[in-house]
Amino acid sequence: MDELTDWLRRFHAAVTAHQTELTELDSVIGDADHGANMVRGMNAVMAKVDAEPPATVADLGKAVGMTLVTSVGGASGPLYGTFFLRFGMNAGAVDGLDAAGLGAALRAGLEGIVARGKAEPGDKTMVDALAPAIDAWDRTVAEGGSSAQAARAAATAAEEGRDATLPLVARKGRASYLGERSAGHLDPGAASAALLLGSLADALED
């Protein structure tokens, strides 16, 4: 549980440090609130988790998910909220996960996001970072890698996936209203998703 709580703390620090950048990405092809939304959400998450440390991964997923749902008014609320809710439900009432279990929980979270928002790879969304990241995780585990190694592979893949959104024309979300003008800019959701996986890798390597 300590590693997962450390993950959340590092993600909080990451979105706070990158708030301006996330907002700038979102002001070009969104409504300029992604940075503020993620900071507000993770402020609320850390307050909740510090006040009532979750005993199981299911508890953590539920606490984080519900907090994001009720504190982030934009799309990141239901999307990241669903991610953590499904993550926790998949993991169950355990106090730790091995590499395969963590990969399965992350994939359940991704599938929740896809079910909620119906994004497909190439739509220029957070899925374009998360999907290759979790595939990289699974590959590393299949080759006998540890959680830390899988997380680093996932973080690298997430960054590459984020960068690959640059030329894409958005087909989902606020950016999709811009059509062709959304091309040439990174997707802010993919950027925050890369921070999420990067934070997990940092937490597991520590």
Partner 1 sequence: MIGIVVVSHSPALARAAVDLALEMGGSEPPPLRIAAGAAGGATGTDAVAIAAAIDEVASPDGVLVLMDLGSAVLSAGLALEFVHTDAAVVLSPAPFVEGLIAAVVGAGSGASLSAVAEESARGLEAKRSQLGAEHDPSEPPDPPTAAPDGAEDGGAQTASFDAVVRNPSGLHARPAATFVKTAARYTATVTVTDLDTGKGPVSAASLISLISLGVTRGTRIRVSATGPDAQDAARELEALVADGFGER
Nearer to partner 1, 71 or 182 (CB): 71
Q: Please state the closest distance from residue 12 (CB atom) to partner 1, in A.
A: 17
Nearest approach in angstroms of CB 73 to partner 1 is 2
- Closer residue to partner 1, CB minimum distance, 77 or 198: 77
Alpha-carbon distances of 4 from 125, 166, 180, rounded to whole Å: 25, 31, 39
Where do contacts with partner 1 occur on this chain (CB under 8 A)? 40, 66, 69-75, 77-79, 81-82, 116-117, 173-174
CB 170, min distance to partner 1, A? 12
Identity of the residue, 125 or 147, whose beta carbon is nearer to partner 1 in the bound complex: 125
CB of 99 to partner 1, least distance (A): 29
